[in-house]
Amino acid sequence: MVSEFLIKVGERIRTIRKTRGFTQENLAEKTGLQNTYISDVERGDRNISLETLEKIIEALEVEAVDLFQFRAENEHKEKLLHEMHILLTNKSSQEVEAIYNIVNEIFNHFGPIYSKYEKQTNKRIKE
């Protein structure tokens, strides 16, 4: 039986890894682990040791507590998505499509971004 806790920790590791712009291979290299092992951890299929968790934390350059911020992150994300929905509701289809295209271009051009805004947002979540 798969542990819900392991899945949540794995998802946080994946989210932080992608935010940092790392591939699974990059993270595996930085930790000395196999990329298949990283993949298993991110899916919640591995019950990792504290030593392995420490390697991942150090490679991602985060605090241990950052891996356990499940609810706060989801609540904040849901709030932002709701606010975006409200902002877009009164726009025309053409405006919504233009905004979508702009956002999509940003993601395609910059890839994973860990901007000043995201750092401030994460800090606010912790408080």
Instruction: Flag whether pLDDT at 50 surpasses 60.
Output: yes
pLDDT of residue 114: 44
What are 90-109's pLDDT values in tens digits?
899 999 999 999 988 887 87
Which range, 6-10, 49-53, 114-118, has the best average confidence (pLDDT)?
A: 49-53
CATH architecture entry for 4-65: Orthogonal Bundle (1.10)
From the list 53, 50, 46, 56, the residue with the least C-alpha distance to 26 is 56
CA angle 7, 15, 3 (to 5 degrees): 5
Q: How far apart are CA 125 and CA 53, in angstroms?
A: 22
This prediction has a pTM of: 0.59
Q: Decide which of 32 and 4 is more confident.
A: 32
Tokens of 3: 């542990």
> What is the DSSP code (8-state) at residue 27?
H
Sequence ranges of the chain with CATH classification 1.10.260.40 = 4-65
